[in-house]
């Protein structure tokens, strides 16, 4: 058993989608300007993300202290708001229009297969559709689609897709009630 557990970590077919120079430049930029909070201007943060390949719509707000692993695997629709959240996008993350991702929320596109000694990566993209709201400290797991106008409440964990116009809460998140917008 011990020999089996000493096998090398298997990252499978995962690829960051950019060369080492671009990744290094992004990590330095992210550390100095995004995660440090030294650059509080949303317009400048948006421009820098676009320079690194992010697709970003108009009139968005990106707050300081945000973490985005790979901007070239990230898209954000019009009139959306990202607070100081954590987007670990080993795979594509698509966020629609009029979406709010609150403080300390986590969008997590990668995980490991704990049943294998090689601890294989299990990655899948995330889609957050128009009008959705991810509450403070909530977690969206790999491969999840958050339906249009769905709400994931504070501290909840989405382990399966969230239906449109529905409010979810808990760990794992369960349907609480329909979301009625007036």
- pTM over cut 0.95: no
Residue-level pLDDT at 107 = 98
Q: Is the pLDDT of residue 7 over 80?
A: no
59-69 burial code (b ≥16 CB/10 A, e <16): ebebbbebebb
> Domain 41-178 is in which class?
mainly beta
- Which one is predicted more confidently, 4 or 24? 24
Residue extents of the structural domains in the chain:
41-178
Q: What is the pLDDT of residues 128-162, one digit of tens each?
A: 999 999 999 999 999 999 999 999 999 999 999 99
Q: What is the pLDDT of residues 117-130, one digit of tens each?
A: 888 889 999 999 99
Separation CA 125–CA 85 (nearest Å): 17
Residue-level pLDDT at 87 = 98
Average pLDDT over residues 70-98: 97
- Residue 76 near residue 87, CB atoms below 8 Å: no
Beta bridge partners, 126, equal: 93
How far is CA 140 from each of CA 25, 124, 154, rounded to the nearest angstrom?
A: 27, 11, 12
Q: Is the pLDDT of residue 9 over 80?
A: no
Max distance between CA atoms of the chain, in angstroms, equals 61
């Amino acid at each position: 058993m011990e020999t089996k557990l000493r096998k090398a970590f298997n990252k499978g077919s995962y690829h960051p989608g950019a060369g080492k120079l671009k990744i290094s430049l992004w990590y330095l930029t992210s550390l100095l300007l995004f995660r440090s909070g030294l650059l509080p201007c949303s317009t400048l943060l948006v421009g820098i993300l676009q320079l690194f390949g992010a697709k970003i719509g108009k009139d968005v707000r990106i707050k300081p202290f945000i973490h985005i692993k790979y901007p070239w695997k990230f898209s954000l629709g019009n009139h959306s708001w990202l607070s100081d959240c954590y987007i670990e996008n080993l795979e594509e993350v698509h966020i629609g229009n009029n979406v709010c991702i609150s403080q300390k929320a986590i969008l997590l596109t990668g995980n490991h297969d704990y049943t294998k000694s090689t601890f294989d990566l299990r990655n899948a993209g995330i889609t957050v559709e128009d009008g959705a709201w991810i509450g403070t400290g909530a977690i969206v797991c790999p491969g999840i689609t958050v339906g249009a106008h769905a709400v994931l409440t504070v501290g909840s964990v989405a382990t399966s897709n969230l239906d449109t116009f529905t409010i979810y809460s808990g760990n794992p998140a369960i349907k609480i009630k329909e979301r009625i917008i007036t």
